[in-house]
Amino acid sequence: MKSGINLHLDEVEALSSDSLKKSYKPDDVRRIEEFKENADMHERFMKEALKQAKKAAKNGDVPIGCVIVMDGEIIARSYNKRNKLRSSLEHAEIICIRKACKKLNDWRLDNAVMYVTLEPCQMCAGAIIQSRISEVYIGAMSGKAGCVGSVVDLLHVEKFNHAPFTIRGLLEDECSEVLSVFFDLLRLEKGTK
Ligand SMILES: [Zn+2]
């Protein structure tokens, strides 16, 4: 199903029921309203992604975490292992998609929901489209590398046959903080050496 929704949490909260109905298609209105009703649940899952992000920092990897949820249950969790595994392919989202596919024994993740602490890059946005994940919730934005609106928006290209329902800015402060703490420490270590 095609959806053009890519909204920041602040935009969602500012939308009244009337403006929602005027500006969006009925199916999108239903999904936005569902999101608002279940905001606590979405935050809970993003907190699980944050827990994953913190594990990455312990390996010297940029703290980015991801979980994939299906029918209200987490079916895959992972974190960035680029440094640990010495490979640019080992992003949190890619590892998480691989785990979810293995668990479901299917490359299609049509009904899956992804929570990721940082805006996905071009590779991960591609994998999200390829695996047809239906909803993507993003914590912090990545101004110089993000491909869900910052540099480009690869998740909502009109001509692709899939576009996930996307909300940005979920637990944005917490997701940004875990990154800034990591980079502050890195700078401190470099400075004292
Ligand atoms: Zn990535």
Model confidence over 166-191: pLDDT tens digits? 999 999 999 999 999 999 998 998 88
> From the CA of 150, how far away is ligand 1's center (Å)?
14
Which residues are catalytic, by number?
Answer: 93
> From the CA of 105, how far away is ligand 1's center (Å)?
23
Backbone angles phi, psi at 55, to 5 degrees: -65, -35
Look at the pTM and tell me if it is higher than 0.85. Answer: yes
> From the CA of 124, how far away is ligand 1's center (Å)?
4
| Per-residue model confidence (pLDDT) at position 192 | 64
| pLDDT confidence bin for 37, thresholds 50/70/90 | very high
pLDDT tens for each residue of 89-132: 999 999 999 999 999 999 999 999 999 999 999 999 999 999 99
Helical packing angle, 92-104 and 39-58, nearest 10°: 110
> From the CA of 22, how far away is ligand 1's center (Å)?
35
